[in-house]
Chain A
């Protein structure tokens, strides 16, 4: 009789727990303040910020612990890279203005944004060498959590976010991230509704009528790494916008001129699609589904009139723009093409999720390089024409406020010699890697930067050192 009562009590307690379990709901926004909240610092007219002159952005790709370790190794190498002239000490890492992180790369980006140089004391132990997957499985198997997972409002991703919050990000929110304005860290996820890129910035949260400041960083990182099929999406509530909300003008203009710029129109439409007039939720999946390199937010900041890079380029604040893409892409030996039978459901599901990531990544890298070359060509055209006009005493053409020296550096395992290349390209995407593999990944980031022609050109230019080989190979990108 007593045993039955105990079982009944347990069942009731379990049902109550299950019924109560709910993911933490994001906070509504009381007032629309376009100059406040988690955004890149506003550019002040007629008050140049010396930090803008050398503007460095780093994108950290997806790829589980493999990507997080490569990203960590790249930041470590930037920390140890001196760009001071004539022996003065100045670390390249201190010049980094923005970091974009996706999935595995989002862990490193967010951690560095929150803890700065303490990252190099703690992140290795607190994240890189842990068996995150095993710990998550243990938590999921806990009877109390089993009951919570029975709730329709609480799922595996919420459990993962709790684990990251408690053991990696120590309860920090975007308010803490905002306290260190540079580097500005952009974490990305993908909206399930339209496949669009979703950025954890107040600019994006304005359209949800939500305040990003009290939102846990761990939850954003969980959304960014919510790989489809393995983890469930992170859900956000969209509230009706505050009464004083005004749709930014570049959004209204983008919507009004679809035929003139489809990319800008789609960006604006995806933002407007999240606006709620009643009850609405946005469900977020792995950021890699819309951009596995993490470069697209940087490119958007270069393109939109509201973009913090575009504004600074046009105002003549940026003299040198450096973009470093840390790409932990792999290319394991293809197995499917070795078999005659048609691939099964699991293979199809995994390939559906990853094939689009790979295709988009190549397009993004190509676009980034093209965008930088375009600017260089435009500057050269104006400069050369004005030199010629000057020779014959004619009126010069209007020029840009400032010529921008552009530099695009990509780190990719493809640049390694055999057999290292095949070894790194064959690594799995997982949140549990052997410590020896993590160490090799950290070290190889430095090797890749040391071996990058463009990165070495950049260092010579920053240190004011003469070009190698009387200018051979020293023109163009990163010179």
Chain B
């Protein structure tokens, strides 16, 4: 198995290949290969999704993916949401 840590300033659901797979800032155990990584709502983070190739990681040296929290002024307004 391979290991991944998704870093974000707060605890948030991690989506891997579109499915909830645990929380940020913890070690996730996943299969080798390419995965799509994103976070659960609210969508106040950037980038919205990242592709990661997991290969030759270890539990003490997992692959790391960083998401940044956007300031309220930078959050894109989705259709249907109030300004």
Contacts and interface: CB of A to CB of B under 8 A. Distances in A.
B15 to A, nearest CB: 9
A399 B27 contact: yes
Interface in A236-265: 248-250, 253-254, 256-257, 260-261, 264-265
B31 A261 contact: yes
Contacts of B30: 305, 310, 314
B27 A382 contact: yes
Interface size class of B (residues with CB under 8 A): 20 to 34
B19 A306 contact: yes
B21 A254 contact: no
Contact of A305 (B25, B35, B60): B35
A311 interface: yes
Contacts of B25: 398
A401 B23 contact: yes
Interface string B1-18: 101010000000100111
Contacts of B34: 253, 256-257, 260
A264 B31 contact: yes
A316 B1 CA distance: 17
A375 interface: yes
A311 B21 CA distance: 5
Contacts of A314: 21-22, 28-30
B33 A254 contact: yes
B36 to A, nearest CB: 6
B33 A315 contact: no
A247 B83 CA distance: 34
A101 to B, nearest CB: 25
A138 interface: no
A423 interface: no
B70 interface: no
A399 B3 CA distance: 11
A311 B17 CA distance: 11
B23 to A, nearest CB: 6
B32 interface: yes
A381 B16 CA distance: 24
Interface size class of A (residues with CB under 8 A): 35 or more
A400 B26 contact: yes
Residue among A248, A249, A399 with the most chain B CB within 10 A? A249
B33 A264 contact: yes
A43 interface: yes
Nearest to A375: B29
B29 A311 contact: no
Contacts of B18: 248-249
B55 interface: yes
A400 B5 CA distance: 10
A306 B21 CA distance: 9
A378 interface: yes
Interface in A392-406: 397-401
Contacts of A46: 13
Nearest to B34: A257
Contacts of A250: 17, 19, 35
Interface string A100-137: 00000000000000000000000000000000000000
Contact of B53 (A257, A310, A385): A257
A313 interface: yes
A303 interface: yes
Contact of A381 (B26, B54, B55, B59): B59
Contacts of B59: 378-379, 381-382, 400
Contacts of A249: 17-19, 36
Interface in A289-332: 303-306, 310-311, 313-316
Interface string B50-72: 00011100111010000000000
Given A46-B13, A257-B33, A310-B29, 8 more contacts: A250-B17, A253-B35, A260-B53, A304-B31, A305-B16, A315-B21, A374-B1, A400-B29
25 contacts: A46-B13, A250-B35, A253-B33, A253-B34, A253-B35, A257-B34, A260-B54, A264-B31, A303-B1, A304-B31, A305-B19, A305-B21, A305-B30, A305-B31, A313-B29, A314-B21, A316-B23, A375-B29, A378-B1, A378-B3, A382-B27, A382-B59, A397-B27, A397-B60, A398-B62
